[in-house]
């Protein structure tokens, strides 16, 4: 199922079902630790064919240490990567809407407002 189809299905839900769906997502992503599967999914999808540089698009990147991110009250470590060709560094969330987001759980509220 494609994202467009999912969005269309969500728009076809009645108000009660939309509210229940929103509450489900709010509970799932309310805190940073609960949103951790989102970051893992992004990482898995971006690197399923190896580490690819987000700048030069070549698959010649390696792990390049970790960095700490403060989201809410928690400090979490994230993986940093470096391209062997262009020497630039990037993260799992580079080129995604949640890159440099301090409150990833707020994206659910944004999606809800945008949809209305």
Q: Convert the pLDDT of each residue in 17-52 to its tens digit.
A: 888 888 777 665 555 455 566 677 777 777 777 888
pLDDT in tens, 86-107: 999 998 888 877 787 777 767 6
Number of domains the chain contains? 1
pLDDT at residue 72, rounded to an integer: 61
Instruction: Give buried/exposed letters for 37-58 (b at 16+ CB in 10 A, else e).
Output: ebbeebeeebeeeebbbbbeee
Residue 10: its H or E element: helix 3-11
- Tell me the percentage of the chain whose pLDDT exceeds 90: 17
Average pLDDT rounded to a whole number, residues 69-81 = 78
Print the domain residue range for 107: 3-115
Which residue from 35, 105, 83, 32 is spatially nearest to 91, judged by alpha carbons? Answer: 83
């Amino acid at each position: 199922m494609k994202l467009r189809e999912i969005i269309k299905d969500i728009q076809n839900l009645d108000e009660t079902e939309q509210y229940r769906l929103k509450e489900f997502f709010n509970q799932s992503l309310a805190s940073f630790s609960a949103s951790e599967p989102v970051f893992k999914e992004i990482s898995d999808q971006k690197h399923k064919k190896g580490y690819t540089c987000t700048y030069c698009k070549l698959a010649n990147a390696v792990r390049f240490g970790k960095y700490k991110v403060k989201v809410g009250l928690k400090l979490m470590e994230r993986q940093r990567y470096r391209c062997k060709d262009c020497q630039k560094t990037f993260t799992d969330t580079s080129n995604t809407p949640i890159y440099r987001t301090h409150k990833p759980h707020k994206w659910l509220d944004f999606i809800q407002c945008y949809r209305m």
